[in-house]
Amino acid sequence: MPMLRLDRILSVYTAYSRREGSERIKKGRIRVNGSVCLDPSARFEPEGLRLDCDGSERILHENNTFLLNKPAGFVSATEDPKEKTVLDLIRQEDRFPALFPAGRLDKDTTGLLLLTSDGALCHRIISPSARIYKLYRAEVNGPLTEEDALAFAAGLELDGGEICRPAELEILKSGEKSEALVRICEGKYHQIKRMFAARGLMVLQLKREAVGGLTLPPDLKEGDYIRLDEAALRQLFSTK
Which residues would be at the binding site for ligand URA (CB under 6 A)? 105-106, 109, 190-193, 206
CB of 77 to ligand URA, least distance (A): 13
CB of 2 to ligand URA, least distance (A): 38
Residue 52 a catalytic site member: no
CB of 182 to ligand URA, least distance (A): 9
End-to-end CA distance of the chain: 30
List 137's β-bridge partners, or say none: 181, 207
Q: Where are the beta strands (DSSP E) in 14-163?
A: 30-32, 35-36, 43-44, 50-53, 56-59, 65-70, 100-101, 110-116, 134-140
Q: Residue 152, SS3?
A: helix
| Ramachandran assignment for 77, one of left (phi > 0), alpha (psi -120 to 50 degrees), beta (any other) | beta
Nearer to ligand URA, 86 or 105 (CB): 105
CA distance linking residue 150 with residue 61, whole number of Å: 46
Nearer to ligand URA, 190 or 199 (CB): 190
The catalytic position among 39, 54, 106, 118 is 106
CB of 27 to ligand URA, least distance (A): 46
Nearer to ligand URA, 25 or 211 (CB): 211
Nearer to ligand URA, 8 or 193 (CB): 193
3 φ, ψ to 5°? -75, 140
* Residues involved in catalysis: 106
